[in-house]
Amino acid sequence: DQQVKQNSPSLSVQEGRISILNCDYTNSMFDYFLWYKKYPAEGPTFLISISSIKDKNEDGRFTVFLNKSAKHLSLHIVPSQPGDSAVYFCAASDINAGGTSYGKLTFGQGTILTVHP
Partner 1 sequence: DAMVIQNPRYQVTQFGKPVTLSCSQTLNHNVMYWYQQKSSQAPKLLFHYYDKDFNNEADTPDNFQSRRPNTSFCFLDIRSPGLGDAAMYLCATSSRTGGELYEQYFGPGTRLTVT
Strands 111-116 and 72-77 come out as: unpaired
Distance CA 83, CA 116 (A): 10
Residues near 70 by beta carbon (within 8 Å), at least 6 away in sequence: 24
| List 12, 26, 72, 103, residue binding partner 1 (CB under 8 A) | 103
Strands 106-107 and 86-93 come out as: antiparallel
| List 8, 11, 79, 105, residue binding partner 1 (CB under 8 A) | 105
Does 107 participate in binding partner 1 (rule CB under 8 A)?
yes
CB of 2 to partner 1, least distance (A): 7
Query: Which residues in 10-23 are b (16+ Cβ under 10 Å) and which e?
Result: ebebeeeeebbbbb
Please list every residue from 41 through 100 that binds partner 1, using CB under 8 A: 41-46, 49, 89, 93, 95, 100
Closer CB to partner 1, 72 or 104, in the complex: 104
Instruction: Yes or no: say if 38 and 89 are a contact pair by the CB < 8 Å rule.
Output: yes
Closer CB to partner 1, 80 or 93, in the complex: 93
Does 17 participate in binding partner 1 (rule CB under 8 A)?
no
Q: Which residues bind partner 1 (CB under 8 A)?
A: 2, 4, 9, 32, 34, 36, 41-46, 49, 89, 93, 95, 100, 102-110
